[in-house]
Structure formats: structure tokens, C-alpha cells
Structure 1
Amino acid sequence: MTLAPDHANPAETTEPAAPQPRSSAPSIGAARPRRQLPRPHDLRPLIRFKRPELHATRRRLDAALTIEDLRRIAKRRTPSAAFDYTDGAAEAETSLRRARDTFANLTFHPAILRDVSTVDTGWDVLGSRVELPFGIAPTGFTRMMQNEGERAGAAAAAAAGIPFALSTMGTTSIEDVAAAAPGGRNWFQLYMWRDRERSMALVDRAARAGYDTLLVTVDVPVAGARLRDTRNGFTIPPQLTAHTVIDAATRPAWWINLLTTEPLAFASLDRWPGTVAQLLDTMFDPTVTYDDLAWIRDQWPGKVVVKGVQTVADARHCAHLGVDAITLSNHGGRQLDRAPVPLRILPDVAREVGTDLEIHLDTGITTGADIVAAVALGARFTLVGRAYLYGLMAGGRAGVDRAIDILRTDIERTMRLLGVTALEELTPQHVALP
């Protein structure tokens, strides 16, 4: 039987294979970039050498991006007793740790798609504008931290458009602080002494020197147990012991500045030969009551702020008394350990008396974001103490300027990221406490 040729049955005709697509993968040779020697005009926009900063203080401060960076510099440059006085708190330092943890663990709730090309970080506080919602808190023994002391703080605050508060325990006189910052806004912080006439003499001096606000601190009936100071034997002036001599060997600049400038002394009282805790217990009056506060209010011609409020009930009592503001504060954790965290009680206090007086806040603030959170929860103003002193110890006046600039930058950035352009736009909805 003869088979028909293949083409005799079209249905069974084999079609030619379809052409395969050409691979799109480049050849190995094509994948290699063509190399050439670099040309100077091509490198110029890619490589820019930073001009070296020869000034040691400016170099240190330029490298500090946070308040914690300033703290590390301050610790290297300051004897242990002086640094620990700033850095420490009472007993186990639980209050300070809790305050910082509360700020660190809160949650922000940002709004998106807002025009935040410009932000305004200022508003009125106690009847006058501040350029930033914080000021420099009253701190004692400040020239012990660094010889420029309160003068540096007052001048830096004036330049930034924020208030500076001078402590009763300051180491620069009321008049010299005013002279250091002509046109600056100065507040005076008062501890009521057992000697009332002496206390009011200070108040009169502050009024004559142009201070516009009196901060009456009410949380020091006795000194807190500041154990670091006790262990260090911290005194004013500092005592030369074997420990302090050894400690000074690695920090000669601090001792040179101390010994070649005016002797350390309190601006508002005579020298004291004992420890800080002994001074506080001898000097401050544990009998002060609301009647005394009302009496002080009537003596002062300017604004009155009660500093050290820690309960809603006391906030309400201050509002009824007619003061201009209260500062929610546990004294930076330096008095009663495990006292309330000011930020935690802020919302309740704001609901209770926020329309009756201004609410200020301190304790635990280390960033501008902390300040923004406090404003969102109802604070009109905040005070920073340690952050300022870390800057002072790190670089004198320039270090204080740097601390303020770090906080300012933080505030502006945080506001933009939250989608707000003014402090008035911040509300409790922007923040959730842990």
C-alpha cells in the first residue's frame, strides 16, 4: 500500500514553528557602564569640604543636636558635685524619671495635607508676647555650674524674646541680672523666709529693677532629700576636699574660671558654710499658708504666679485667690519623690481652672516636642531648668543660646509635622498620654 504524500492531506500538514521573541535582556557587555576618568567640574557639585571650626566651644556646640548632647558635654566639663546638683533629684529620683517617661511615651496624632510653610511659635503670656512658649526657670547656685551664670541666661533669654526667672538662691544680684539684659523680660522667684521683712525687701528690689512677674514657690516647706548633694558634700562655696581636688584635675578650666572671677555668693543672702539641704531647712518657712500668699499678692505690683501646684484642689484654691497663673510643678523631682507628674494632671487642671488663670508647667522637659505636647494639653507656658543649665555648663552664653535654638527647632518641626501653624491650633486631640 502506497502512502499519500504529506501535502495530500491539508488537515495533517505541519505548520512551520512560530518565530521566538528576541530576548530583551542586554548582553553582559552592554550591562557594564562605560568608565572614564573623573573630571574636576563633574566632582565639584558632589563633593563639598566642610570648613573646619577652629573655635573649640563653637565646635562642641555645633555638634550638639539635642539637649541630651549638651548634657553629655556638660558632664565632661563640670565637676561632679556641681553637675549632680543640676542633674539629680530627690531620694530615688523616681519623680523625675516618671516625668520624663511620660513625655517620652505619649502619642502624637498629626493632621495631614495642611499648608505649614510658616508657623508662629509665639503668643501672649501674662499680658505680653513671648516668641516661644517656654522661658528659663529659676535655678539656684547658677554660677557654680559655670561662671557666667545668670547673666548668660538673662541675656540669651532676652535675645530669644522669652522670660528669664531669677531665683532667690541665685548667685547674681537682682540689679546685675537686669543690667545684663536691658529690655529683657525678667521674673523674680520668691521663697518665703522665716524673716518676712527680708523676703519683702527682695520683692521691693525686684519691683524697682523692673521685674514684671513674681513666682511664689510654695513646695519647699523643708528641703527634699537630695542624696547626690549629700554624698558629694555640696556646699557654697565649694569645699576643697581630696575628692574635689582629684575631680578638678581633669576639669582645670572650670576651676580657673571659678578662682579668677568674683567670689561665689548668694545674691540675696549672706554666705552659708553648710550644705544646701541645711540652708533650705534653716532658711525657709514651713508655716506659710494661703493667707500669706494673699498678703504677698497684695504687696506685688505686677503679675503673680504660684509655682509648685500639684493637685486640682490647690489649683482651684489659687484661682479663687485671684492669682494670674499657676505653675504645675514638682520642683523638677527635687522635693517629694513620687509626687504627681505635672503633665498627667494638666488636662484635669485645665478643665477645672483653664478659663480662670494661665496654667504653666515644668519638670521633665528635654525637647521642643515636650513643650508642644504640654501646650496641646492646656499649658499656656512652660519653664526649662536643666536644659538651660546643660547648655550653660557646655558653653556659657553660647551654650544657652544653643539650648534655646535646639528647643526652638524642635517646636517648629513638631508643629509642622502635626499640621498646625500656630500655638492656638494645638488641642488635646493632638496628644494621647500613655
Structure 2
Amino acid sequence: MKTRVPFKNLAEAERMAQRRLPKPVWLAIKAGNEQGLTPADNEQAFRELGFSPTIFDRPTTFDMRTRILGADLDFPVIVSPVGAQAVHPGGEVAAARAAERHGTAMGLSSWATDPLADLLEVNSNVFFQLYWVGTKEQIEKRVLDAKEQGAKALIVTLDWSHTPRRDWGVPPAPPSKIDLKTMMQFGPSMLARPRYLSNFLRNGRIPDVKVPNLWGRDKTDIPTFGVGWAEFERTPAPTWDDIKWIRDLWGGQFMVKGINTIRDAKLAVDLGADAISVSNHGGNNIDGSPSPLRYLPYIVDAVGDQIDVMADGGVRRGSDVVKTLALGAKAVFVGRAYLYGLAVSGEEGVYQVLDILRNGIRETMFGIGKSSIHDLSRDDLMVMNSDFFVPPTQ
């Protein structure tokens, strides 16, 4: 029996998620660094772009299909890899099922709480996302494990800035183990959201944030996020040669996530990447870095004929997806948006989020007279702000 989904748009889903989640979990989702300038700009940039609607010859059919990293997708929205989600006992498997029902792919973080094998049972288009954590031997094992299990592609994420300061409060780090001290620290916030905790217990789980994909599929005593994070902090940042080594080791579809400059985009092309994602890690990079939307067209102009370009950050509506595609991206990733739906209603909540975005894409394409996402271009957009707008040239 399907769960009734109580939200009609993502703004409602966000408000409901905040009410349902314990404060430490909500603060971790809210994320961003320092003043939160970057996540705010991720959303603001979309507000500065508009459309020029048409009223004649509007389309009656809509083609949203695309091909990304060897996967044929029914529409250009991919569930983003998100680490250490503790918002719903259904976990990443629930999100992967929802993505499969919509004919799209799911990115699975190395820091995810469900193992890759479980996701591949419900969705054949799973992209495994890798961080540079631990020794080269450990990283090699992680890459080969994902390859042998059948991950469709490998995503290497390089844009985390290790900034712990947040003006609105920093959530406590996920615990390294569940003991009396941990229960005393997190107990009050959990008890303040009894439905959250009871939901986990009814499903035979506790929100302990273990990260099985970080340690290899044959490890039985799986450490928690806190142990993995300590290892991440000790690991020196990778060089270009290190990423080239991973690319050669993987040998299949390969994406670099976290591109912010034309120089880095060209370096990704040089190492043989099949795709890049223009991203500031949802605002978790250097605070004050601009929205990917602002430099996306420049990167597309520089390398878009050599490599598939994707983007993420701040997508909350189908019209946001259309704007990103019109600037040259082939698809978008959504992270916080799907977590809001997952927190509220599990798999059905994620499905509803994707449905809202899909319907919004169709409605926007109808309004601007485009029947295929492949026909979108910058001519479909208008630059807007509170004082003026720039009309299209024709």
C-alpha cells in the first residue's frame, strides 16, 4: 500500500522535513559553510533567469530522454550521491527504487548508509561516487569492488573544503560508536521527534550512520561515519595524476564532480573523463563561491563539445532544470530536494519530488514552445532582476 504524500511542492516538503527531523539531522542537511552565502546564491541565481513564453504552436508531446554515463534516462534529473543520510530507515534503497520508477539513475556516495549491492537489486543505473580516502590500496579495493558489483559509472568528487564553521549552528559529528555517552548526547533531540525514532525502530534499524561502501563489501564489522571522517581528514588531497590513476583503474564511464573553473574542466578532459559536474558541493565548498549556474555557460563553451557537462546546486523546480539545460548542461543532480521527500514519506516522498520536477519541466517546455529538451538553448532565457529585464533579441 502506497503512502499518501502530504506535500505538493518542494517548499512544503522542506518545511515538513524540518518539523520531522531531529535538530542535528536537520542541521546536517541544511549544510553550507560560514554565512551560507553559497547555498543562498545557488537558489538566487535561478531567480535571476526567466523565460519568454509563447502562445502559438505549443507542443503536445514532450521528449525528456537523454543518455548520461552510459545510462539511458527517461528524464534529465539524477538523484545525487549524498553521504550519511539519516533521515529515513528506507535509506538510499528507497531513493533508488523511486528513481527506477521514474526511469532515472541514482548516485551512491561512498558515505552512504546502504551498500551498493542492495541498490543494484532495485535500480540498474547506479553511479558509484568516490572520495579520496585512505591509502591507495584501500582506494583501489573500493574502485574494483564497485566495478565488479556492476556500478554503471564512477563519480569522483573533489570539492569538499573541510570548513566546519556555520553561523546558524554546527551539527555534532555522527558518532564513532553507539554507547551511553552517544545516547546522552543525541537522546534529547531524538525524543523531541518521537515519530522519527519510532519509524526507524519499526523498520528494525537505528540511525547509527554506518558507511559500508567506504570499507569494502567483504567487511563485516562496519565502522560508522565518524571513523571514516577521521580517516578522510588524515588523507592528503589527491593530485591530477592520482585521479588519472583512478580513471585508468576504473576503465569505464567516469565523471569528475566539483568543477568550478574552465581550467579544471580542461584538466578533466585531459585525463579522459566522460563527464563533469559543475558544482560547489551544494554550498559546502568555500563560502562565497558563486552558483554553478553563473559559470556553467562559460564551461560549456570551453569543453562542451568534448565532454558531457552536468550541474547541481539549488534545483527546486522543474523550471530550474530547464534553465540549467538551456545553459548547456545535459542533466542535473538533486540532493537536498530528494532528502526532503525521503524524510517526509520515504520512497513515495522521493518519487513525489521527482514527479514534481518532471511535471515542472513539461509545464515550462509547454510555456516556451519546446517539445524536446535537446532543442533548449540560451535564446529561451531572459536575464532578470528587481530593476529590469533584458528582452530576447528576437
Q: TM-score, normalised by structure 1?
A: 0.80
Q: How many Å apart are 1:93 and its aligned residue?
A: 0.9
Which residues in structure 2 correspond to 1:211-360 (within 5 Å)? 211-220=151-160, 222-227=161-166, 231-236=170-175, 239-241=182-184, 244-259=186-201, 261-263=204-206, 264=208, 265-267=210-212, 268-269=214-215, 270-272=222-224, 274=226, 278=230, 280-282=232-234, 284-286=235-237, 288-360=238-310
Distance 2:55 2:64 in 1: 19
- Greater RCO structure (CA 8 Å; 6+ sep): 2
Distance 1:203 1:425 in 2: 37
Q: How many Å apart are 1:384 and its aligned residue?
A: 0.2
Distance 2:377 2:2 in 1: 43
Is the aligned partner of 1:162 residue 2:112?
A: no
Alignment-derived partner of residue 202 in structure 1:
142
Distance 2:146 2:280 in 1: 25
Alignment-derived partner of residue 83 in structure 1:
26
Contact 1:310–1:340 (8 Å) recurs in 2: no
Aligned-partner residue type, residue 223 of structure 1: H
Q: TM-score, normalised by structure 2?
A: 0.88
Q: How many Å apart are 1:322 and its aligned residue?
A: 1.9
Q: How many Å apart are 1:247 and its aligned residue?
A: 2.7
Q: How many Å apart are 1:64 and its aligned residue?
A: 1.4
Aligned-partner residue type, residue 10 of structure 2: I
C-alpha RMSD over aligned residues: 2.2
Aligned-partner residue type, residue 309 of structure 1: I
Alignment-derived partner of residue 127 in structure 2:
187
Alignment-derived partner of residue 47 in structure 1:
none
Aligned-partner residue type, residue 387 of structure 1: A
Q: Secondary structure at the match of 1:432?
A: strand
Contact 1:165–1:189 (8 Å) recurs in 2: yes
Contact 1:114–1:420 (8 Å) recurs in 2: no
Alignment-derived partner of residue 39 in structure 2:
96
Distance 2:168 2:129 in 1: 22
Alignment-derived partner of residue 323 in structure 2:
373
Aligned-partner residue type, residue 234 of structure 1: A
Q: How many Å apart are 1:195 and its aligned residue?
A: 1.2
Alignment-derived partner of residue 146 in structure 1:
88
Q: Name which of structure 1's ranges 170-179 and 387-396 shifts more when overlaid on structure 2.
A: 170-179
Which residues in structure 2 correspond to 1:40-119 (within 5 Å)? 57-58=3-4, 61=5, 63-119=6-62
Q: Name which of structure 1's ranges 389-398 and 318-327 shifts more when overlaid on structure 2.
A: 318-327
Q: How many Å apart are 1:302 and its aligned residue?
A: 1.7
Q: Secondary structure at the match of 2:183?
A: coil
Q: How many Å apart are 1:240 and its aligned residue?
A: 2.6
Distance 1:300-1:159 versus aligned 2 partners, 3 A rule: same
Q: How many Å apart are 1:417 and its aligned residue?
A: 0.6
Q: How many Å apart are 1:228 and its aligned residue?
A: 7.3
Distance 1:227 1:277 in 2: 18
- Percent identity reads 31
Q: Secondary structure at the match of 2:63?
A: coil
Distance 1:169-1:75 versus aligned 2 partners, 3 A rule: same
Is the aligned partner of 1:133 residue 2:76?
A: yes
Cα offsets for 1:317-371 (capped at 9, x unmatched): 2122221011000000012111232001011111111100000000111111111
Q: How many Å apart are 1:259 and its aligned residue?
A: 4.1
Q: How many Å apart are 1:278 and its aligned residue?
A: 4.8
Which runs of no fewer than 5 residues in structure 1 stay unpaired? 1-54
Distance 2:169 2:14 in 1: 22
Contact 2:337–2:353 (8 Å) recurs in 1: yes
Q: How many Å apart are 1:275 and its aligned residue?
A: 8.7
